[in-house]
Every structure is written in C-alpha cells, then in structure tokens.
Amino acid sequence: MFLVGLTGGIASGKSSVIQVFQQLGCAVIDVDVIARHVVQPGYPAHRRIVEAFGTEVLLENGDINRKVLGDLIFNQPDRRHLLNTITHPEIRKEMMKETFKYFLRGYRYVILDIPLLFETKKLLKYMKHTVVVYCDRDTQLARLMRRNNLNREDAEARINAQLPLKDKARMARHVLDNSGEWSITKRQVILLHAELERSLEYLPLRLGVLTGLAGIASLLYLLTRYLLPSP
C-alpha cells in the first residue's frame, strides 16, 4: 500500500473531488474529521488548547468553539503556529492508526486529505503521490464569495491567508484542474484513480510485511520445537 496526499485551497472544489474518489471505492482519511476528534473534551489536545487560549474558546457543553478559535488565530501567525504545535502531533497519531486499518483490509492506496500538506511539509515524506485540486484565482474568488456570502475584500483576505494554489500546483505530482465544467474535473479524477490502481508501488511494502510475518512464524515454530517437551 502507498499513500496519496491530496490538498487544495478554499473553494477549489476539493470536497467534491474527494466524494468522487469515495464513490469509486477509494479509502479516504479526512484530516478535518480527525482534527475535530482529537480536540474533544478528555483528549490531551483539548486541555492544552484551553490552557493556551483560555476558556473563552469553549462552548457551554465543553467542546471547542471552532469559530471563536479560528477568529483568534486569523491573521496571527504566532497563535496559529501555537495551535498547530498542539494539534498536529495528535492528528498524525490518529492518521497512522486509520492508515494501518486500511492496510490490513488490503487497499492498494489510501488518500490522505491534508489541507496544509505543502505548508507544513511534515507529512510529505510519507506520500508516494501528491495531488492538488486547482482552480484559477478568479474562479476561486467568485466561488468563495457566492458560497460564503462574502464581499470581495473579505474573500480575498481568506484566500491570501493560504498558500496560493498555483504554488501548490507546481509542487504536486498530479494536478486536477477544477476551473471549468464539473464533468471535466470528474473525468480527471476517474483517470487518476485508474492510474493509481494500475500502479505496483504498493507491492514492496506488502511483500516486506508478509516476509516479516513469515519470519516471525518460522521463529515461533522453532521456539515451540525446542522449548516444548516432546510427547
């Protein structure tokens, strides 16, 4: 099995692309879902967030108020970095657990939906393939204004807070261009899935694991022969 890191930008259409991959039967790990999970009450990240940002980031039921927390770190790189140092290690642990589950189920590859794949670069070394869902800036701006009911200034501020999509596209191995008709984008996703399914890059790891398991089995067999008394 190998890992495919997929990312995009705000209003680029990444969520729609992920849905197509899931419809094709692909294993997808959504980092946003994991990120919400690891900050639930009772988890270490929840306690550390409250210590760092205060109880004003809590809802009445004790959950993290994501909107309030998002407003606190917006346009404040130091506070955003602090939050990332709290949550990212916990997110990585959960991602590895989920990936191993798919490995055991025999999937050839797993897609990791990672919004900050190229910004943090911490997970890049684990990715055999990287994919960016791209759209041109004018399309991105228009979609964001329409989707979030934002004026142009606010929408541009949110886009400017992220690494530009054109920069991500230059760093990615695969680019899915979602600037035009959705049918064209969907076709690109289907073709990429077919390419990844044909790849034999999953074999080395799987063969390595099977070889390791065979070695362990042989060792256990020898131990039982020498340590257990003969009948």
Tokens of 144: 């964001």
Burial class (CB in 10 A: 0-12, 13-18, 19+), 225: exposed
- Tell me, yes or no, whether 115 and 160 share the same domain: yes
- Tell me, yes or no, whether 187 and 89 share the same domain: no
- Tell me, yes or no, whether 161 and 211 share the same domain: yes
- Tell me, yes or no, whether 116 and 139 share the same domain: yes
- Tell me, yes or no, whether 76 and 166 share the same domain: no
pLDDT tens digits, residue range 218-229?
A: 666 566 666 555
Q: Which residue has the higher pLDDT, 199 or 18?
A: 18
> Which of 5-9, 19-23, 60-64, 67-71 has the least mean pLDDT?
67-71
- pLDDT value at position 32? 84
- Tell me, yes or no, whether 136 and 156 share the same domain: yes
Among 94, 109, 131, residue at a domain's last position = 94
β-partners of residue 113 are 6, 30
Among 56, 72, 94, residue at a domain's last position = 94
User: How many distinct structural domains can be found in the chain?
Assistant: 2
CATH code of the domain covering residue 126: 3.40.50.300
Q: How many CB atoms are closer than 10 A to CB 129?
A: 19
Strand order in the sheet with 174-177: 27-30, 109-113, 2-7, 129-134, 174-177
Tokens of 111: 């897609």
pTM reported for the whole predicted model = 0.75
- Tell me, yes or no, whether 128 and 20 share the same domain: yes
Q: What range defines the domain where residue 50 resides?
A: 39-94
Tell me the C-alpha distance between 158 and 124, whole Å.
24
Tell me the C-alpha distance between 74 and 83, whole Å.
11
pLDDT at 212 > cutoff 70? no
What's the chain's average pLDDT? 89
- Cβ proximity of 103 and 55 under 8 Å: no
Q: What is the DSSP string of 151-194?
A: -HHHHHHHHHTS--HHHHHHH-SEEEE-SS-HHHHHHHHHHHHH
- pLDDT value at position 92? 85
- Tell me, yes or no, whether 47 and 137 share the same domain: no
- Tell me, yes or no, whether 147 and 182 share the same domain: yes
> Which of 2-6, 9-13, 210-214 has the least mean pLDDT?
210-214
- pLDDT value at position 135? 97
β-partners of residue 30 are 113
Q: Where are the beta strands (DSSP E) in 8-108?
A: 27-30
- Tell me, yes or no, whether 140 and 27 share the same domain: yes
pLDDT at 88 > cutoff 90? no
Tokens of 43: 């988890």
Among 94, 115, 139, residue at a domain's last position = 94
- pLDDT value at position 166? 97
pLDDT at 155 > cutoff 60? yes
- Tell me, yes or no, whether 135 and 21 share the same domain: yes
Q: How many CB atoms are closer than 10 A to CB 74?
A: 12
- Tell me, yes or no, whether 76 and 160 share the same domain: no
